Structure 1
């Protein structure tokens, strides 16, 4: 496993302003120890991804051939373990919330202080390192979590990508395999405001999860409801 803190972080910098990208951001980030690859379009990023996925992608919203918000969402679904930082001139609260909801790990606005950008990338690298370490976490025989908990690996080897809501839920269930996990405990993995949470949402989430696993794998997800108590993962 690559040590993200001690090795040079491979950063893809997606910025269509060539002067800003090549004369300011890229050289300054290299001074901070990053291995920077400057890109001017989403198409160029796609070509890079075919050769290998960088550790972190820094992207603008206003790109010549793509919407940055849509791109962030696509990157998050396709590459759950990659770091995504949005760096844009759009600074409205609505845009910031949208960027983070769509999949960005951090949202910075231009003009950005280079020290802050570098610190954000280093901080994200530490979080990625901690997440990657959880790849070693193994569930009971036949089932395991990979990709920092973003992929559920079925006994047949098929990977099922998990959403932000499914990830903590599945981890909790697998960690307590063979034990009944109460509904309140599961809801607590989804929200800090358990009293206002619609309990039917939990049942809907589990129903969709079962269907997704069944569609992607020859093995049904071994999760059973225990009436009046909760759910049990029993492989």
Structure 2
């Protein structure tokens, strides 16, 4: 049975208008130890999320009253730590990317296996405890970029940069090894889970969003700054390189 970080059964919110799929998800989750609420509309789901503060949301994109992509964005804004998994019958890659870029952590294309869904949820809900060295170390300073792993805050010069959970963890992992190549497999294992087997498109979209946020912070800083650059290593992974001299 899955457990939340507080030791209690994890709470799941299902936002799905299809009766058959909704009942299947509700019974499957409850049968595997999740405290589950099922809402059939986006507006009801949004209210339930704000009131109940669940650990995770399973979100159908094809809702009768609200656009699923917009709802994912609103959920992410309201509940930054919430795990959001999109359920979609749409097979076009652009729809999947839009959902991930709106703040979802993962997606499954219908029809899907309950076994696969449960495995994905276990992978997301497990949290790797920080090592003693990471707990004891102070903020990582790389030029104008500061990554405070203890406080989970990022600064460009004196300006704080708001990052989503996975964006922060990706940056922190690269910042711990500046100038060194970090493989995609390592990033998936350390930021998502060591047994992760989902699509690496999640990594690509999260990395693209992280880059945009850092670029915006660099461009709007109160003084001229040049940040370390995230370099893509084709066929391998990424590397955080020192800020270019200009």
CA contact (8 A) 2:46 2:71 kept: no
**1:188-228: CA deviation from partner (whole Å, max 9, x where unpaired):** 68x99xxxxxxxxx9986563257676xxxxx9xx7779xx
Query: Within 1, Cα distance between the matches of 2:173 and 2:98?
Result: 26
**1:97-122: CA deviation from partner (whole Å, max 9, x where unpaired):** 33333332221122222222222211
- 1:7 deviation in Å? 3.4
Q: In structure 2, what is the equivalent of residue 63 of structure 1?
A: 63
Count of paired positions: 197
Q: In structure 2, what is the equivalent of residue 209 of structure 1?
A: 217
CA contact (8 A) 1:137 1:144 kept: no
Q: In structure 1, what is the equivalent of residue 109 of structure 2?
A: 109
Structure-1-length-normalised TM-score: 0.60
**1:141-168: CA deviation from partner (whole Å, max 9, x where unpaired):** 9983468x4x4489x9x97522666764
Query: Within 2, Cα distance between the matches of 1:41 and 1:90?
Result: 18
- Larger Rg, first or second structure (1 or 2): 1
1:161 is paired with a residue whose SS is coil
- 1:70 deviation in Å? 2.2
Does residue 10 of structure 2 align to residue 9 of structure 1? yes
Query: Within 1, Cα distance between the matches of 2:214 and 2:88?
Result: 37
Query: Within 1, Cα distance between the matches of 2:162 and 2:64?
Result: 30
Residues 115/165 of structure 1: CA separation in 2 closer, same or farther (3 Å cut): closer
Residues 27/168 of structure 1: CA separation in 2 closer, same or farther (3 Å cut): closer
Q: In structure 2, what is the equivalent of residue 46 of structure 1?
A: 46
Query: Within 2, Cα distance between the matches of 1:122 and 1:5?
Result: 15
Q: In structure 2, what is the equivalent of residue 119 of structure 1?
A: 119
Q: In structure 2, what is the equivalent of residue 25 of structure 1?
A: 25
Residues 13/167 of structure 1: CA separation in 2 closer, same or farther (3 Å cut): same
- 1:138 deviation in Å? 6.5
1:112 is paired with a residue whose SS is coil
Residues 171/17 of structure 1: CA separation in 2 closer, same or farther (3 Å cut): same
Query: Within 2, Cα distance between the matches of 1:101 and 1:203?
Result: 12
Structure-2-length-normalised TM-score: 0.58
Residues 65/139 of structure 1: CA separation in 2 closer, same or farther (3 Å cut): farther
CA contact (8 A) 1:137 1:145 kept: no
Structure 1 stretches of 5 or more lacking a match? 193-201, 215-219
Q: In structure 2, what is the equivalent of residue 199 of structure 1?
A: none
Query: Within 1, Cα distance between the matches of 2:57 and 2:105?
Result: 10
Structure 2 stretches of 5 or more lacking a match? 141-145, 186-209, 229-240
Does residue 166 of structure 2 align to residue 162 of structure 1? no
> Which structure has the highest helix share of the two?
1
